[in-house]
Structure 1
Amino acid sequence: MDLRIFTEPQQGASYDTLLTVAKATEDLGFDAFFRSDHYLSMGSADGLPGPTDAWITLAGLARETRRIRLGTLMTAGTFRLPGVLAIQVAQVDQMSGGRVELGLGAGWFEEEHKAYGIPFPKEKFGRLEEQLAVVTGLWATETGKTFSYDGTYYQLTDSPALPKPAQSKVPVLIGGHGATRTPKLAARYADEFNMPFGSLEDTRKQFDRVRAAAAEAGRGQDDLVYSNALVVCVGRDDAEVARRAAAIGREPEELKANGLAGSPAEVVEKLGRYAELGSSRVYLQVLDLHDLDHLEVISSQVMSQLG
Structure 2
Amino acid sequence: MKFAVWPSMNDPWHETLAIARHAEATGWDGIYYADHFMPNSADVSGPVGECWTTLAALAAAVPRVRIGPLVSGNTYRHPAVLAKMAATVDIVSGGRLVLGLGAGWQENEHRAYGIEFSTLRGRLDRLEEACHIITSLFANRRTTFAGRYYQLTDAPLEPKPIQTPVPLLIGGGGEQRTLRIAARFATEWNTWGTPQVLAHKGRILEHHCETIGRDPRTIRRSAQALLVMSEDPALVERVRATGRPVMGGSAAQLRAIVEQYAEAGVNELIVPGFNLGRTLDEKLATLDRFNEDVITKVSRE
Give the TM-score taking structure 1 as reference length.
0.88
Question: 1:72-87 maps to which residues of 2 (within 5 A)?
Answer: 72-87=69-84
Q: 1:107 to 1:256 in 2, by over 3 A?
A: closer
Q: What percent identity do the matched residue pairs reach?
A: 33
Task: Give ranges in structure 2 of 5+ residues lacking alignment.
Answer: none
Kindly indicate whether the alpha-carbon contact (under 8 Å) linking 1:255 and 1:261 is maintained by their aligned counterparts in 2.
Answer: no
Asked if 1:92 corresponds to 2:89, the answer is yes
Q: Which moved more, 1:220-229 or 1:67-76?
A: 220-229
Q: 2:26 aligned to 22, 25, 28, which one?
A: 28
Deviation of 1:133 (Å): 0.6
Distance 1:190 1:76 in 2: 16
The aligned counterpart of 2:128 is 129
Asked if 1:296 corresponds to 2:293, the answer is no
The aligned counterpart of 2:4 is 4
Asked if 1:277 corresponds to 2:275, the answer is no
The aligned counterpart of 1:140 is 139
Moved over 6 A (4+): none
Q: 1:194 to 1:210 in 2, by over 3 A?
A: same
The aligned counterpart of 2:65 is 68
**Cα-to-partner distance string for 1:53-72 (whole Å, 9 max, x where unaligned):** 11100000011011100001
Distance 2:207 2:144 in 1: 31
Deviation of 1:162 (Å): 2.0
Deviation of 1:118 (Å): 2.3
The aligned counterpart of 2:229 is 234
Kindly indicate whether the alpha-carbon contact (under 8 Å) linking 1:38 and 1:51 is maintained by their aligned counterparts in 2.
Answer: yes
Distance 1:114 1:163 in 2: 35
Deviation of 1:288 (Å): 4.0
Aligned length: 292
Q: 1:161 to 1:60 in 2, by over 3 A?
A: same
The aligned counterpart of 1:106 is 103
Q: Could you say what the CA RMSD is over the residues aligned between the two structures, in angstroms?
A: 2.2
Distance 1:214 1:53 in 2: 34
Give secondary structure in 2 for the equivalent of 1:4: strand
Kindly indicate whether the alpha-carbon contact (under 8 Å) linking 1:195 and 1:206 is maintained by their aligned counterparts in 2.
Answer: no
Q: 1:256 to 1:86 in 2, by over 3 A?
A: closer
The aligned counterpart of 1:306 is 298
Q: Which moved more, 1:88-97 or 1:286-295?
A: 286-295
Kindly indicate whether the alpha-carbon contact (under 8 Å) linking 1:14 and 1:52 is maintained by their aligned counterparts in 2.
Answer: yes
Asked if 1:188 corresponds to 2:181, the answer is no
Give the TM-score taking structure 2 as reference length.
0.90
Distance 2:171 2:21 in 1: 26
Q: 2:210 aligned to 195, 208, 215, which one?
A: 215
The aligned counterpart of 1:286 is 273
Task: Give ranges in structure 1 of 5+ residues lacking alignment.
Answer: none
The aligned counterpart of 2:154 is 158
